[in-house]
Amino acid sequence: MDEVIPTMNVASILYYPFNENIRHVNNLKKSLAQILPQFYPSAGRYSKENQLVDCSDQGAEFVEAQVDCKLVDIIGLEELNDLLPVEVGAADEVTDPIMSIQINKFKCGGIAIATSISHRISDGASLNTFLSAWAKASRGDQTEPIIPTFDSPLYFPGQNLGTPDYGITRSRNTTLVTKRILFDSKAIGTLRDRVSHLYENSHRPASRVLLVTSFLTEALLRSDRAKLGKPRGCLVIQLVNIRERTVPPLSKYSCGNLITTATVECSADETKSMDFEHYVPLLGNTVKKTVSDCVNILGKDGHEILFENRARVAAKGGDSSIKSITFSDFSKFGFYEVDFGFGKPIWTTIANIPIENFIMLLNTKENDGIEAWVQLHEEDMHYIELDKEIKKLTT
């Protein structure tokens, strides 16, 4: 999976208000140096020709930046990429650090810690493992050590597949825009009530992620019909974390791109007649089956489960007769628990990701809602911003 992942960085930004316990930035640098040997690929450089990381201790990049505003002024999504140490698409060249950190210091005394790690060796779960270990070292917590592992090549040896062209550039793509749609606890409750009859015999109601992915799938296809004047088929892709779901279970601290895909395909006739109440069980059952299939990934069927489905999905990527939508769930990774010794973050975000029709799902600080970061072409975003159902639910 590392070989076929997009050429980009996985990024997160954690925001901390001024606090008397905020330590000098040198402590963050010192603790980073302390744990970096455990995450040794992050201090190396990637070789595209050989599709491997040269772990020769070239180092991680550490940047300090003065921001000429207060923390509360960071409200525009177009500004967030300025807080990153590198552009999202600046990856995979021999001169690119695999890990870059930027400590943004605001006028009010608050800070934002931005982390970028090459997607070649890291997914969202790997990023959270690193941040959790760094935070523990920073606050001097020696209990329950976090020990990362880099053993995925033992289970999934490289095959020199080459990296597909996802159209991601090293500079910002201004034709792609990001919209943050907040589904608070009230919105989640409204959606859950609409499908409560489907879960009358279940001890667990529909999850927040399932509700939001189903609602946004319907909304994006509705907007697509409004734009084109006719329905299209759809391909809905949901990325699924395989850690702790395989047999034997891979550690939750296993680093790499340990993901598989749950996919749903619908024809134009189906998307025309389907609504939210149809997508909830359809997407939910697909994810359940994908999770149950994870028990076989380390066996003889693993290659088929991981790669053949992905290859089939990739082959449909250029089909203009379908609308392809990809969801990635970051809501369970615990970014709001990352405490460097000066409290937990008041907000956590990603930045603008240069992938069209890509939706990242983040948790809310209260742990009762979902922030959906929707990346669309600017023309498509126009229709989403006019969508009455989205306005009614999220305003």
29: which 2 tokens? 């640098």
Contact 265, 10 (CB under 8 A): no
Active site residue 119: yes
d(CA 217, CA 265): 12
Contact 335, 12 (CB under 8 A): yes
Residue 367 identity: N
Beta-sheet pairing, 347-349 with 9-16: antiparallel
- DSSP secondary structure string, 212-247? HHHHHHHHHHHHHHHHHSS--EEEEEEEEE-TTTSS
- Other Cβ atoms closer than 10 A to 217: 27
Residue 133 identity: A
Which of the residues 54, 82, 184, 339 is marked catalytic?
339
Burial grade of 87 (CB within 10 A; 0-12, 13-18, 19 or more): buried
196: which 2 tokens? 């409560």
d(CA 110, CA 21): 11
Which of the residues 2, 96, 119, 329 is marked catalytic?
119
d(CA 336, CA 57): 30
- Which DSSP letter does residue 42 get? G
d(CA 86, CA 100): 7
228: which 2 tokens? 């084109």
Contact 239, 261 (CB under 8 A): yes
Peptide bond into 17 cis (omega under 30): no
Q: Known catalytic residues?
A: 119, 339
